[in-house]
Structure 1
Amino acid sequence: MTARRRTAGILALGFAPLALAGLAAAPAAAHGSLTDPVSRVSACFAEGPESPVSAACRAAVAAGGTQALYDWNGVNIANAAGKHRELIPDGKLCSAANDKFKGLDLPRADWPATAMSAGKHTFRFRATAPHRGSFELFLTKPGYDPTKPLAWSDLEAKPFAEATDPRLENGSYVFDGTIPERSGRQLVYTVWQRSDSPEAFYACSDVTFGGGSAGGGTQDGGAEEGQQGSGGDSGPGTPETAPSAPSEDAIAEGSEKSSVEHNGHGDDDANTGAKVTAAAPAAPAEKTGGNTPEVNTASQDEVLAETGGSSSSTFLAIGGAGALAAGAAVLFASQRRRAIAGGRRGR
């Protein structure tokens, strides 16, 4: 064997573990939105982008089109890096200053709203592509007027709920917080800042305190699209239905029409990507018998949330491992044949 070939073989085998480590560590892209309390964009997507039920969602489509609803999990800023207040001007908090989502910024008092009360609450953020990061939830101040454009000054200075790398349960991040006392119609503003990327996601969730309708309908036929709604209190003809989060079927079907990179589950980084994560319960831990240690077969989503990996990076790592193993086997067989042949010639 020549020195060059011997060196090539050593390098190929030596870099195999490093290559595998790099493949396994490939980052996933994050996407999602708050679903409890349900965000404006999630509620409107659940109503159906082509024919929304509520006047507010119809107005959002009239202002920004249906694509914004199909991209419900992509209200983001790729290079936010925590500079949310610097990058998002007053009046554009719900769209994150993204013109595609401008319909979400319409100042209306009839957005589909979730009934809430002060005290402990469990929040859920549907993550179609989970990743490490921190959540901050802000509540509007007493006296908030939903008929005026939402400004940063309308929100409390400090978040009332925070969570870093919360548990992933059935495709959603789940964490607890304590809701302050409020009355009437308010708004919860969510910021999800990735810790492995400057990308951040935003969500506006309309809520009502102290009774009143949580429905998104209007009185006597409702306001004209694009105009102020009729308010959050019950009245003649106002449906009492609360807004719904998108179903798993709707998420799967809607992803086919998503314009966000990686079919609605990626980001602006071409080197990252992740498959849609279906909401599925974790499998119970199993024992194989004997002295074999217990094997935890938790859902892949939960493992990825802990490691910061992605479904695609897992499959990529497996494929890369197979390719490297095959290459090493070929190299070993080649060198063995050369050694045998050399031994025969020396006899």
Structure 2
Amino acid sequence: MKVPATGRRRFAYPAIIALAAALLTVVTPGTASSHGTTIDPSSRNYGCWSRWGNQFQNPAMQTQDPMCWQAWQTDTNAMWNWNGLFREGVQGNHQGAIPNGQLCSGGRTGDGRYRAMDVPGNWRATNIGRNFTLRLLDQASHGADYIRVYVTRQGYNPLTTALGWNHLELVAQVGNTPPSQWQKVTTPHQGVQINIPATANGRSGRHLVYTIWQASHSDQSYYFCADVNIT
């Protein structure tokens, strides 16, 4: 039976809306530009983006990478904007600005966009030794007033417990470093990177590496949780 013209128009509008939504989904990844994160060991949201960005709707993620699955379901923009997990105006008072249990999301920064990063569970972990090197990517050449690298204390279990300040021990830090002192890179992303040697003596098994990067260009503080297995 031939559908009247008015009927065809009724059917067309939902199709147009669906197409627009699909196009928005495709465009959204482009919002990730500038800033940075730790890429080795990888921060939680960068790891989820690097593994699943090209197939974020693949149902296999639910069984193969369940913590990333819950993160993608919570807010896809947390992964598309893997390089934007920062707070402004902290003025060095990190513990005052970020409550226990919210360290991995920067205190639910970005209107709570990164809240799934705080959820404890079996996140994909990077194998490292007790002596390791942390690699931080700076896509916008901000440089750093300082960078502080922490590792959780032995006995902390990231599979069951959300991260708190009392779980952390400072293992490495660098002071003011302008971007001219960082290494220029083009892969896996264009920008500059800095390599920070760290030592996690007395630890083995699952841990979190927590990094605070105080950018030099303004009062922007970046916070990164990276899951590791210390061998």
Q: TM-score, normalised by structure 1?
A: 0.49
Partner Cα distance (1:152, 1:76) in 2: 17
The whole-number CA distance in structure 2 between the counterparts of 1:104 and 1:76 is: 13
Report if aligned partners of 2:134, 2:197 keep a CA contact under 8 Å in 1.
yes
Residue 175, structure 1, aligned to residue 188, structure 2? no
The answer to whether the aligner puts 1:153 opposite 2:166 as a matched pair is yes
SS in 2 for 1:100: coil
Could you tell me which residue of structure 1 aligns to residue 82 of structure 2?
72
1:85 has 2:95 as partner: yes
Shift of 1:195: 3.0
2:58 is the alignment partner of 1:46 = no
**1:138–1:155 Cα contact (<8 Å) kept:** yes
Query: 1:178, CA displacement in angstroms?
Result: 2.8
Runs of 4+ that moved beyond 6 A: none
Alpha-carbon distance in 2 for matches of 1:46, 1:188:
18
> What are the superposed Cα offsets for residues 127-184 of structure 1, whole Å, 9 maximum, x if unpaired?
121212121100100101111111111111xx21112315233134222323222111
Whole-Å separation in 1 of the counterparts to 2:204 and 2:166: 18
Alpha-carbon distance between aligned partners in 2 of 1:116 and 1:126, rounded to the nearest angstrom: 19
Contact 1:68–1:101 (Cα < 8 Å) also in 2? yes
Instruction: Check whether the contact 1:122–1:174 (CA below 8 A) recurs between aligned residues.
Output: no
Q: Distance in 2 between matches of 1:80 and 1:51?
A: 36
Task: Write the distance in 2 (CA, Å) between the matches of 1:126 and 1:206.
Answer: 17
Distance (Å, rounded) in 2 between the aligned partners of 1:51 and 1:155: 35
Equivalent residue of 1:94, what SS?
helix
Aligned to 2:9: none
Q: CA deviation at 1:68?
A: 1.0
Q: Contact conserved, 2:134 with 2:198, CA < 8 A, in 1?
A: no
- The 8 Å contact of residues 31 and 201 in structure 1, kept in 2 or not, is answered as no
Larger Rg over CA atoms: 1
Whether 1:209 and 2:230 are equivalent positions in the alignment is yes
After TM superposition, the structure 1 = structure 2 runs for residues 7-86 of structure 1, keeping only pairs within 5 Å, are 31-49=35-53, 50-51=56-57, 53=61, 54-62=65-73, 64-86=74-96
Structure 2 distance, partners of 1:92, 1:105, is 6
Aligned-partner Cα distance in 2 for 1:96–1:106: 13
Specify the code of the residue in structure 2 equivalent to 1:207: V
Percent of residue pairs bearing the same amino acid type: 33
Equivalence for 1:300: none
Q: CA RMSD in A?
A: 1.7
Q: Distance in 1 between matches of 2:50 and 2:118?
A: 18
Q: Distance in 2 between matches of 1:155 and 1:30?
A: 28
Query: Deviation of residue 30 (structure 1)?
Result: 6.3
CA 1:138–1:74 in 2, change beyond 3 Å: closer, same or farther? same
Shift of 1:61: 1.7
Residue 213 (structure 2) pairs with residue 192 (structure 1):
yes
Q: For residues 270-312 of structure 1, what are the alpha-carbon distances to aligned partners after superposition, in whole Å with 9 as ceiling and x for unaligned?
A: xxxxxxxxxxxxxxxxxxxxxxxxxxxxxxxxxxxxxxxxxxx
Unpaired runs of at least 5, structure 2: 1-32, 186-190
Q: What do residues 207-237 of structure 1 show as CA deviations (whole Å, max 9, x unaligned)?
A: 0012xxxxxxxxxxxxxxxxxxxxxxxxxxx
